[in-house]
């Protein structure tokens, strides 16, 4: 159990770095829009470029992740992410920063699929909710420590400083990967049985259950990432927050989810993934509706709503990830989760890009049409509830074939 905990803490650290790298750009949005003199549309492209690149690399990763030792490929991927982070730290202008974000996304996107693959390989389904809760608590730590600290050092120096901090932290985590992630090769099949890229694609697209899981991922991302990238610019331009006061939002939301994320994982294992997901997804639409209609508002009220947004967003993600991970067999898990990660990143990128097209600035510098974005996000979120009820978890012990032609008789709903 000690080795398992060290493994999960290492995966959580990887997730923390990846999340901070992605999230830190959003609260830096007001500064970057001023410094580079860019519009909401150009800032939306800056955010979405990372996710589009991550989606592309995750798609290509689907053809190779199941062919190699999980530990070895994680080390190579994380080293590439480290180089991309350094490139962001050294970027002197918008175009070069955009290019650096693409590099970071190319490698950062693969870490998500690898983390889920390792959890799926090592942790049995009966304890997978708890494992997901621990690893996803990295989002909370990123919110309560990573992002505020990044903004703090940015205020003392400049916007480059958070990426310098992340590059140094990545060096420590690289050592943790080497030390605590064991060699994982049981998923590797004989060379003669390795599927071709076309077979990998057909295996996923021909599996109705996995396609429903991928559709769920798309709907969740559209319901969230039309809101998240523009939350900070909206709070500054419309609600009246200062750049430094933005840290309150992330600290409050992160502080609560540090405790709620593991709790949600335990509730997921106890009461079922679908039930817990339905509760938190239903609750999640409330803060979405309120946040997208805020004007000048007292800070305590904003923190109450934004914290509810963070807690419910994290609460729906824990059971959904546990369920989606269980729809694939170990031999095909890396390929499927890489596909799913690709779809997740592309959907998130499309959401932020489309939201950037809908939003505009008025003569006072305020963002308008955020309420329209909120309505669209709510519709996509609510559509996830009936969809998740149709997704099943594969009973690994009942399936003996490497080919994932899942028969309804050998799948059970958890």
Question: Tens of pLDDT along the chain (414 residues)?
Answer: 677 788 888 888 888 888 888 777 777 777 788 888 877 778 878 877 887 888 788 777 767 777 778 888 888 989 999 998 899 888 888 899 899 999 888 888 788 778 877 887 787 777 777 777 777 777 667 766 777 777 777 777 788 888 888 888 888 998 989 888 887 776 565 444 556 667 777 888 888 999 999 999 999 999 888 888 788 888 888 898 887 787 788 778 877 887 888 888 889 888 989 999 999 999 999 999 999 998 888 989 999 999 999 899 888 988 998 888 888 877 777 678 777 877 887 888 788 888 888 988 888 888 889 999 999 999 999 999 999 999 988 765 555 444 444 444 444 443
Residue 198: the pLDDT is 73
Three-state SS string over the chain comes to CHHHHHHHHHHHHHHHHHHHHHHCCCCCHHHHHHHCCCCHHHHHHHHHHHHHHHHHHHHHHCCCHHHCCHHHHHHHHHHHHHHHHHHHHCCCCHHHHHHHHHHHHHHHHHHHHHHHHHHHHHCCHHHHHHHHHHHHHHHHHHHHHHHHHHHHHHHHCCCCHHHHHHHHHHHHHHHHHHHHCCCCCCCCCCHHHCCCHHHHHHHHHCCHHHHHHHHHHHHHHHHHCCCHHHHHHHHHHHHCCCCCCHHHHHHHHHHHHHHHHHHHHHHHHHHCHHHHHHHHHHHHHHHHHHHCCCCCCCHHHHHHHHHHHHHHHHHHHHHHHHHHHCCCCHHHHHHHHHHHHHHHHHHHHHHHHHHHHHCEECCCCCEECHHHHHHHHHHHHHHHHHHHCCCCEECHHHCCCCCCCCCHHHEECC
Measured torsion, CA atoms of residues 342, 343, 348, 354, in degrees rounded to the nearest 10? 120
Q: Quote the pLDDT of residue 414.
A: 39
Q: What is the pLDDT of residue 395?
A: 62
Q: pLDDT at position 139, please?
A: 67
Are the C-beta atoms of residues 151 and 28 closer than 8 Å to each other?
yes
Q: Give whole-number Cα distances, 377 to 19, 228, 289, 346, 372, in Å.
A: 21, 11, 9, 16, 9
What's the pLDDT at 412? 45
């Amino acid at each position: 159990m000690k080795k398992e905990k060290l493994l999960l803490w290492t995966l959580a650290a990887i997730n923390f770095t990846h999340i901070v790298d992605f999230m830190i750009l959003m609260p830096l949005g007001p500064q970057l829009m001023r410094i580079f003199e860019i519009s909401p549309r150009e800032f939306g492209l800056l955010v979405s470029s990372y996710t589009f690149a991550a989606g592309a690399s995750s798609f290509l990763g689907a053809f190779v992740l199941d062919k190699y030792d999980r530990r070895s490929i994680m080390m190579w991927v994380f080293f590439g992410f480290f180089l991309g982070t350094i490139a962001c730290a050294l970027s002197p202008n918008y175009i070069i920063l955009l290019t650096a974000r693409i590099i970071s996304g190319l490698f950062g996107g693969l870490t998500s699929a690898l983390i889920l693959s390792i959890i799926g390989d090592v942790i049995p389904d009966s304890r997978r909710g708890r494992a997901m809760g621990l690893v996803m608590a990295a989002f909370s730590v990123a919110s309560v420590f990573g992002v505020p600290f990044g903004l703090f050092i940015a205020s003392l120096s400049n916007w480059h400083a958070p990426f310098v901090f992340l590059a140094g932290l990545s060096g420590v985590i690289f050592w943790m990967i080497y030390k605590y992630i064991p060699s994982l090769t049981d998923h590797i099949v004989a060379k003669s049985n390795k599927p071709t890229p076309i077979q990998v694609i057909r295996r996923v697209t021909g599996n109705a259950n996995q396609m429903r899981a991928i559709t769920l991922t798309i709907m969740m991302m559209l319901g969230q990432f039309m809101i998240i990238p523009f939350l900070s610019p909206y709070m500054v331009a419309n609600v009246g927050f200062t750049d430094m006061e933005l840290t309150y939002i992330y600290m409050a939301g992160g502080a609560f989810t540090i405790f709620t994320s593991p709790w949600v994982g335990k509730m997921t294992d106890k009461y079922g993934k679908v039930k817990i997901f339905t509760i938190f997804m239903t609750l999640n639409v409330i803060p979405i509706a309120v946040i997208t209609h805020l004007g000048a508002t007292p800070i305590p009220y904003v923190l109450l709503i934004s914290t509810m947004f963070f807690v419910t967003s994290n609460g729906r993600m824990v059971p959904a990830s546990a369920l989606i991970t269980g729809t694939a067999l170990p031999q095909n898990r890396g390929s499927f989760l890489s596909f799913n990660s690709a779809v997740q990143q592309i959907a998130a990128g499309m959401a932020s890009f489309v939201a950037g097209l809908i939003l505009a600035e008025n003569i006072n510098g305020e963002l308008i049409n955020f309420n329209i974005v909120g309505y669209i996000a709510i519709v996509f979120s609510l559509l996830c509830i009936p969809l998740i009820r149709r997704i099943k978890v594969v009973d690994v012990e009942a399936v003996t074939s490497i080919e994932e032609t899942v028969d309804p008789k050998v799948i059970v709903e958890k």
